[in-house]
Amino acid sequence: MFNTMTLTKAAGAFIGALLFLMLANWGASALFHVGPAGHGGGHDEHEITQAYTIPVPEAAGDGAAAEEVVIDFDALMASADVAAGEKEWAKCRSCHQLDGSDGVGPHLNGVVGREVAGVAGFNYSGAMVEHAAEAPVWDPAALQVFIENPRGTVPGTAMSFAGIRDAQARANLIAYLQTSS
């Protein structure tokens, strides 16, 4: 079955494939070169010119974190637009109701000024019940913080909403909830 001719053909095919790969590698490195000009890995004293640069803002020299922007919540609430808040309510409507019935989340009738985890008969998550000890009432300031990042404010909450990042939009929503109570 294995004779000298079969063995010679197999060795020739293997050696030919290796030769082809070596020549392809040599040809590709001649066409496509990455790194400084010149082969051999030696670096000359010239600076390497980049095709483009990406500007990166410098961090604070002392390592301090950037100051957090302070929001004047009272001014936002004073300029809140109830009609715009009704449009923001569309984001909440899939889980919460304003007619006194509970959905996936508790109803939000009278939520402004209501106790946290205070809807009788609704099964709140343990995290929300624990949060009631920290912030016992849903006043506008507490709602503003919670609506911005529910999972960040109450880690472990069952609420899967990502939050509303725009402070004015949150104030509009809270104003709408105050009028619909």
Segment 6-24, tens digit of pLDDT: 999 999 999 999 999 999 9
Q: Are 48 and 36 in contact (CB under 8 A)?
A: yes
Please tell me the distance from the alpha carbon of residue 81 to that of residue 73, in angstroms, as a whole number. 14
Q: Of the candidates 76, 88, 69, 68, which has an alpha carbon nearest to the alpha carbon of residue 141?
A: 76
Query: What is the reported pTM?
Result: 0.61
Q: Among the ranges 15-24, 64-73, 93-102, which has the highest mean pLDDT value?
A: 15-24
Segment 107-128, tens digit of pLDDT: 998 899 999 999 989 999 999 9
CATH number for domain 73-179, candidates 1.10.760.10, 3.40.50.300, 1.20.1250.20, 3.10.580.10:
1.10.760.10
- Over the chain, what is the mean pLDDT? 85
Q: Are 98 and 87 in contact (CB under 8 A)?
A: no
Q: 42 or 17, which is more confident?
A: 17
Please tell me the distance from the alpha carbon of residue 166 to that of residue 157, in angstroms, as a whole number. 21
